[in-house]
Amino acid sequence: MAQRRFAQALYTLALLAAGAGVCVGQGAGPRPCEPQAPLGPSHDLYCIDLIAAPGARAASGRVELSPPAGPFTVGVTSDGHSRYDLIGSVAGLEPGRTYVAWLMTPQLDTIIKLGVVTRGSFVARDVALPKFVVLITAERSSRVQSPSEHLVLRGQSPSTRLFPPDQLTFAAGGSTATPAHEHEGHGDWPMVPMPANLTMLPAEMALRPGVAPYPRPSSDSLAIARPSEWRRLRNGDTLWLDAGVVRGGFAFNGEQPGPMLEVSRGSEIVVGFTNHLPDSTAIHWHGIRLDNRSDGAPGLTQPAIAPGGTFTYHIRFPDAGIYWYHAHVREDIQQDFGLYGNILVRSADSVLPPAHREEVLMLDDVLVGDQGPIPAGRESPTHALMGRFGNVFVVNAKRDYQLAVARGEVVRFYLTNAANARTLNLSFAGARMQLVAADAGAYATPRAVASVVIAPAERYVVNVTFDRPGRFALVNRVQALDHIFGRFFPEVDTLGVVTVSNGRAPAVAAASSRRPSPPFHLAALDSLARRPPDKTLILTLHTTNLPPVTERLMQLDSIFFQPVEWSGSMPMMNWAATGEQVRWILRDPETGRENMDIDWHFARGSTVKLRLVNERRAFHGMQHPIHLHGQRFLVLAVNGVPMRDLAWKDTVLVPAGSTVDILFDTTNPGHWMLHCHIAEHLSAGMMTHLTVD
Ligand code: C2O
Ligand code: CU
């Protein structure tokens, strides 16, 4: 008890410090502008080396592209542009003059004054230009509004390295032609849809996956899936659940999503499961700190359940929050075909800010061509490079989500991203959004957010206030990358619409005076943040036998990686790369072991700090949503910058070329998987396991 109060006091201190803008936990791992550490964040993606202008030879400097304060591991505006804090440090400046830092677009059509360089440094918060140039000039006064001709230092954002002529010369060279035998693929593949605005090469257009298609079941004799039914389960209740075939996919109890389960914290239920699929399966209860035997990890906690087989899961719910369950065999097929459902665990003493109503939204995207859904790969996944991005957005397995509310209503949305690969940047244009909880717990301080960045398997809870009458679209707004021309272009997808009527809603119930308990009870987060990691994992990949066009274009493309690949803008090369050519890897740098060969053991009750290093030099660098089964964790730092908005999570998005530190307490004994939740990466090997003894 005393220990708990002590920890609470420390936590409160940390919050106060964060609120006052004091940097807690400085020294939380290497930063991108520090001398490049092999297991640190990428220097060339997150640090600009400034170059001296003629006559200023002694000057030098660097600008860190730092993740801005906020609850997400990546900074992005609501319309999808990367956001950074620019942290500049310069040296070798001649004394006696005023130095000013400026930001410009590469075309020089926008010039922004960042500020005066004071004692060799400057900080500019929330810079969101897709490509930019930083200038340092010598000025007579700090009040100048445009730069003088006395240029001292300059540098360019890493995104300006995308340089179309290179790629076009290469593409025109003819050496990318794909030998005939390579693009025949295997079986009868329908054509994948092409996103608008994309440039494609002929050699790319000829690619097909080298595996047989695994189509969605489509027979007219199959039942159509029913919408999810809300099931309130009491302590000791049994739920009979089956996985079966419906028209156009798979379903739990014939429902898509599967039954929506509502339970109380501290309760326990029994799930009697039967497999009516044509393939083996197992069901995982994502994020729940349950008994290891019921975790549903085939090969680790149970054998896969053969067609016609049964399994009994005993599930206890120690933590309030929004969770989900899904098939854990070939997620790129089974989860994609519809085997997922939500679990809402309530506690009597909820600390969430009040709302008029609640909506549980399971978000997904499906890939549909001219002749219907594009099949999955039979022997191994297609889309093994970037993961499978869909072009049809569904909410609770349906298109065009609709909700009608009265003016002034506050709606609490429980959001789950069930997509195979797509990270969403969600907003309700024109409505106020407050982020109140993450995967497995509430934030101590709810925060206004312009958008919610939600990666596959993550959950977020937002309170949205609809103050004005009208129509408010739930949109995913991102900047996609045209890899051939090296330019960003906006993509906007509408997932649903909320219609707000003129009638006024009654005032919302008063907020509860309860505060969320501190999310970590072990010791001061500050010293934990400084502590070197106990374990490190490198996120990378290995490829073999890719078609020459893919091999070469991707090598050129590696000059720059976006922090998050928001869109499937290499649709053909990605589609045609299968799990037979691409192996995604989690590597322990201490032992060199990879994926399931890693054999970590931790004593129960210890605190483990794990550093995830997303390798910059990988053949294709991209974000990975990393999920740890059976435990919960805090995200401590991104690229060495401490996170200040803390809530319990079980899945964290690791941006390309970045490091993310997480801290978990090993409370739950057993064998637990840790893996990437991009379905195709998981099916292409990106998983490991650890044991809590
Ligand atoms: Cu939701 Cu092992 O996954
Ligand atoms: Cu991944």
Residue 590: how many other CB atoms lie within 10 Å: 10
Query: Per-residue pLDDT averaged across 231-238, rounded?
Result: 98
| Distances in whole angstroms, Cα of residue 383 to Cα of each of 186, 368, 546, 583 | 15, 14, 12, 12
Listed in sequence order, the residues at least 6 apart from 513 whose beta carbon sits closer than 8 Å to its beta carbon are none
Q: Tell whether the model's pLDDT for residue 543 goes beyond 80.
A: yes
Residue 254: how many other CB atoms lie within 10 Å: 16
User: Helices 548-557 and 164-172: crossing angle, nearest 10°?
Assistant: 160
What pLDDT shows up at residue 198?
Answer: 80
b/e map of 494-527 (b: 16 or more CB within 10 Å)? ebbbbebeeeebeeeeeeeeeebbbbbeeebbbe
- Tell me: the pLDDT tens digits for 87-104? 999 999 999 999 999 999
DSSP code per residue over 593-604: -BGGG--EEE-T
Phi, psi of 534 (to 5 degrees): -75, -35
Query: Per-residue pLDDT averaged across 10-20, rounded?
Result: 36
Listed in sequence order, the residues at least 6 apart from 692 whose beta carbon sits closer than 8 Å to its beta carbon are 601, 602, 603, 604, 630, 631, 666, 668, 669, 670, 672
Helix-strand-coil split of the chain, %, nearest 5: 10, 40, 50
What pLDDT shows up at residue 178?
Answer: 44
Q: Tell whether the model's pLDDT for residue 484 goes beyond 90.
A: no
What pLDDT shows up at residue 584?
Answer: 98
Phi, psi of 117 (to 5 degrees): -80, 115
Closest CA to 66 of 611, 624, 649, 642: 642
Structural domains in the chain, sorted by start: 43-161 (2.60.40), 522-544+581-692 (2.60.40.420)
pLDDT bin (cut points 50, 70, 90) of residue 520 is low
Cβ–ligand 1 distance for 627 under 6 Å, the answer: yes
Q: Which two tokens stand for residue 330?
A: 């070939």
- Tell me: the pLDDT tens digits for 398-411? 999 999 999 999 99
Q: Tell whether the model's pLDDT for residue 41 goes beyond 50.
A: yes
Q: Which of 209-218, 380-389, 490-499, 552-561 has the lowest mean pLDDT?
A: 552-561
pLDDT bin (cut points 50, 70, 90) of residue 516 is low
AA letter at 572: M
Helix (H, G, I), strand (E, B) or coil at 348: coil
Closest CA to 104 of 157, 54, 67, 62: 157
Strand partners, 641: 638
Residue 5: how many other CB atoms lie within 10 Å: 9
Q: Whose CA is nearest to atom 1 of ligand 1?
A: 286
Cβ–ligand 1 distance for 388 under 6 Å, the answer: no
- Tell me: the pLDDT tens digits for 43-61? 999 999 999 999 898 999 9
What is the side-by-side strand order in the sheet with 470-482? 401-407, 487-504, 470-482, 424-428, 452-454
User: Contact at 8 Å (CB) between 334 and 277?
Assistant: yes
Cβ–ligand 1 distance for 436 under 6 Å, the answer: no
- What 3 state SS string does 174-222 have? CCCCCCHHHCCCCCCCCCCCCCCCCCCCHHHHCCCCCCCEECCCCCCCC
pLDDT bin (cut points 50, 70, 90) of residue 186 is low
Q: Tell whether the model's pLDDT for residue 20 goes beyond 50.
A: no
| Distances in whole angstroms, Cα of residue 553 to Cα of each of 224, 545, 548, 620 | 42, 14, 8, 11
Q: Which two tokens stand for residue 652?
A: 């964290």
Cβ–ligand 1 distance for 326 under 6 Å, the answer: yes
Cβ–ligand 1 distance for 462 under 6 Å, the answer: no
Ligand 2 centroid to 398 CA: how many Å?
A: 26
Strand partners, 321: 345
Query: Which residues have a beta carbon within 5 Å of ligand 2, which is an ion?
Result: 624, 676, 678, 681
User: pLDDT exceeding 90 applies to what percent of the chain?
Assistant: 79
Q: Whose CA is nearest to atom 3 of ligand 1?
A: 286
Please report the atom of ligand 1 found closest to the CA of residue 324.
Answer: 1
- Tell me: the pLDDT tens digits for 588-644? 999 999 999 999 999 999 999 999 999 999 999 999 999 999 999 999 999 999 998
pTM (predicted TM-score): 0.93
Q: Tell whether the model's pLDDT for residue 294 goes beyond 50.
A: yes
Helix (H, G, I), strand (E, B) or coil at 591: coil
- Tell me: the pLDDT tens digits for 413-463? 999 999 999 999 999 988 999 999 999 999 988 999 999 999 999 999 999
What pLDDT shows up at residue 205?
Answer: 85
